Amino acid sequence: MKGIKKKFTTALLKNWKTTFPFLEAVPRPSFSPNTNDYFYVHLPMRTGVVCFFVIAFSPKRSGAFTLEVHLARDTDEKTLKTLPVAWECPSTFTPGYYRIARFKDQNIDYFWFLENPNALYDKLVSTDESDTFSILRRPRDNRSWFPATYDAPMPQIIDAAIADLNSQIEQYVLPVLKST
């Protein structure tokens, strides 16, 4: 997973230099709860508003990540550590941690799966033709992103994930942030 995370964040930074040149990669802020699973980018906004885009890799699902948007009134470490998890879309500026699903009016998190979440299931099914392991299978749905195929080379999967992430940011996140 560390290799995928590094490859993904390197490709993402390179892409964002041209796609979103106003985003600034920043070192891990001191308020970060987990140094291994988070990647921070600062979005400069109007005076008195602090915004971080956070690529949050799942500790439970290898190669899976979501986008969090952290909004605060200042960069004070104590303030940032105590931001509440926000369950509504930020239609007015309210400090908190917002998952991208809140911007999309979804009640379930939106994840990008760089690795096949069904790899274990597929391996077990190949050795047992009964339905014993069906509970392990994660169905594909439109509430998350999956590549067209996991047989593609990882750089191609990463590029497709970045394209979808950028599309989600442009379609759902930036319009809300511009209006807050």
Q: Of 66, 59, 43, which Cα lies nearest the Cα of 165?
A: 66
CA 117/CA 136 separation, integer angstroms: 9
- Asked if 81 and 67 touch (Cβ cutoff 8 Å), the reply is no
Neighbours of 159 (CB within 10 A): 15
pLDDT of residue 2: 61
State pLDDT tens for residues 147-172: 999 999 999 999 999 999 999 999 98
Question: Which residue type sits at 149?
Answer: T
State pLDDT tens for residues 94-125: 777 788 888 887 777 889 999 887 765 555 55
Q: How does DSSP classify residue 8?
A: H
